[in-house]
Structure 1
Amino acid sequence: MNRRIAARGIAIDNQGQIFCVRLKAYDNNKERHFWCLPGGSVDRHETLCDAVTREIIEETGVLPTLGALLYVHQFVAGRAEHLEFMFHITNFSDYQDIDISKASHADKEIADFGFVDPKKKVILPRFLSTEDITHRIINQEPTKIFSFLLRTA
């Protein structure tokens, strides 16, 4: 089984809405009808922080200010195990009025973007709809791990 490592950013506004993207169909992927965090694959020999910064700039044209590592998400999809690292993006207000023409990959990859209420829209991973992210940030809670792998003896 292959393993895909990704880094993502969580920008959350004062109303508890999360900045998300909805992806287009590209490179053998179907168009997505759900929202997800901006970010993507970590390149070989690239740090997690460099990867999330690069991916978010490619998708939005905005330089993220990285805060704490909030979540690690481990799951299987298709024939791959996925390991995703989710960082707090502290400059959320910079994402409220994006000039998408500054994003190098937006035309190809991004169908829509914006702040989304996790109680009203489907955001993946689903635990983002039930987690109190603001509380976790304010209280500087340790990184939380969500592992959805089937354990074998």
Structure 2
Amino acid sequence: MRLRVCGICIQNERILLINHSLYGKDTFFWSPPGGGVQFGETATEALEREFLEETGLRVKVGKLLFINEHIEAPLHAVEMFFQIDSFEGTLKTGEDPELSAEGQVIEQVQFLSWDELTQFAPNQLHRIFSMIGSLDGVFHLQNYIPGQNSGLEK
């Protein structure tokens, strides 16, 4: 079980996403920046750290928008999604310091429009994008979004 924090950062009607090769170098998966909370770290501190590591940006974390539960073997994660109120710095493709240089999974960091997102297959995007009909819709997701158990035994 893992606690993750994620940031919704929208500028000029484009959302900041990370292209991960989590499922192999020949596949990709776009999701908002974020990662695991470390012991002794607050959720907002973790999100600030993750944004800096993954995107090179220093962010001001805003309000909690919603909580998503992800249950798909081998991962069970509870994700807290926060609004990003502002950022500064130069956008870059960052690294995951927990992984070796050869094992990095961040392929690309980019602001994408809703039209660009609709060109991807559902399994190439975080599932929150299948629940909304526009980028603004992400701000209308509320409360807790239960995970979809895909074969994990209780």
TM-score tier (shorter): 0.7 to 0.9
Cα shift readout 1:105-139 (whole Å, capped 9, x = no counterpart) = 487342111112333335632222442553665xx
1:115 to 111, 114, 132: 111
Contact 1:22 1:33 in 2 (8 A): yes
Cα shift readout 1:3-62 (whole Å, capped 9, x = no counterpart) = 0110011111232x211011246xxx6335121111101111211111111111011111
CA 1:44/1:10 → structure 2, altered by over 3 Å: closer, same or farther? Answer: same
1:30 to 19, 24, 28: 24
TM-score by length of 1: 0.73
Q: Distance in 1 between matches of 2:44 and 2:126?
A: 20
Contact 2:70 2:77 in 1 (8 A): yes
Q: Distance in 2 between matches of 1:21 and 1:41?
A: 15
2:18 counterpart SS class: strand
Cα distance, 1:146 vs structure 2: 0.9
Amino acid at match of 2:8: I
Q: Distance in 2 between matches of 1:113 and 1:78?
A: 26
User: Is 2:144 the partner of 1:145?
Assistant: yes
CA 1:149/1:19 → structure 2, altered by over 3 Å: closer, same or farther? Answer: same
Q: Structure 2: any 5+ residue segments left out of the alignment?
A: none
Partner of 1:11: 9
Cα distance, 1:78 vs structure 2: 1.1
- Aligned-residue Cα RMSD (Å) equals 2.9
Q: Distance in 2 between matches of 1:24 and 1:149?
A: 22
Q: Give the number of aligned pairs.
A: 138
Q: Among the aligned pairs, what percent are the same residue? A: 24
Q: Distance in 1 between matches of 2:119 and 2:65?
A: 22
Contact 1:69 1:86 in 2 (8 A): yes
Amino acid at match of 2:128: F
Q: Structure 1: any 5+ residue segments left out of the alignment?
A: none
Alignment map for 1:1-153 (pairs within 5 Å) = 3-15=1-13, 17-24=14-21, 30-31=24-25, 32-91=27-86, 94=88, 98-100=91-93, 103=94, 105=96, 108-116=104-112, 117=114, 118-122=117-121, 124-131=125-132, 132=134, 134=136, 137=139, 143-150=142-149
